[in-house]
Amino acid sequence: MAFPELKNRLLLDTLEGKETERPPVWMMRQAGRYLPEYMEIKKKYGFFERVETPELACEITIQPIDIVGTDAAILFSDILVLIQCLDIEVQLKPGFGPYLPDPIRTVEQVKNLNIIPAEEQLSYVYDALTLTRKTLDGRVPLIGFAGAPWTLFCYLVEGQGSKTFSTAKSFLFSEPEAAQKLLEVMTDQTIQYLHNQVKAGAQVLQVFESWAAALGPDDFRTL
């Protein structure tokens, strides 16, 4: 797929180890609540409607480029969309955060996973990436992202955010074979998801292992 030539290469040159005139600047959560323009969109559309509508995701992604002038755009999305590929519902409760009504807590649930190909289930993400890349017209590079397998595992088993993820860790240690199977499934899905993002227009990829610290170093290395 042909895209416009990139005009601002600061981020890509830095990642390639090249010398640049200054460090590239972009912000975590740069598309979001600190912008009045984003809050106006938020009043009209629910979170997953914003994420799953390519035109809205594109608009929100580009807002900080227009307003703040950062050196990269990161797609407006969420790491938990990949859980949809297991045919598992994810809700976002105001003031509470992500919530899974039916988390994975048993070996049988792992055995009976309904795995949907990421290419099929998450087409709206790829459409948003392609639309955003074209709309950016080469102004800055576009970053795609995904949650890392352990972090997704934590949400899948815990069912919500947690300070300790004790339920997820208990499942990991009490049912190691089932836990390993679930981690392998999420690893395969994440790889395919990121591969598809590149095909759709992502120029940089970031993997968020948000809950790595829930495990000790030795346990994390053995995942």
The full DSSP string for 129-159 is HHHHHHHHTTSS-EEEEEE-HHHHHHHHHHS
Question: What letter would DSSP give residue 79?
Answer: G
**Would you say residue 28 has pLDDT above 90?**
no
**Residue ranges per structural domain of the chain:** 10-221
Tell me the pLDDT tens digit for each residue of 66-121: 999 999 999 999 999 999 999 999 998 888 889 999 999 999 999 999 999 998 89
What is the pLDDT at residue 122? 97
Tell me the pLDDT tens digit for each residue of 157-167: 999 999 999 99
What is the pLDDT at residue 112? 97
Q: Cα angle vertex 83, ends 77, 84, to 5°? A: 85
Tell me the pLDDT tens digit for each residue of 137-181: 999 999 999 999 999 999 999 999 999 999 999 999 999 999 999
What is the pLDDT at residue 223? 85
At the topology level of CATH, where does 10-221 sit? TIM Barrel (3.20.20)
- The C-alpha atoms of residue 85 and residue 99 are separated, in whole angstroms, by 16
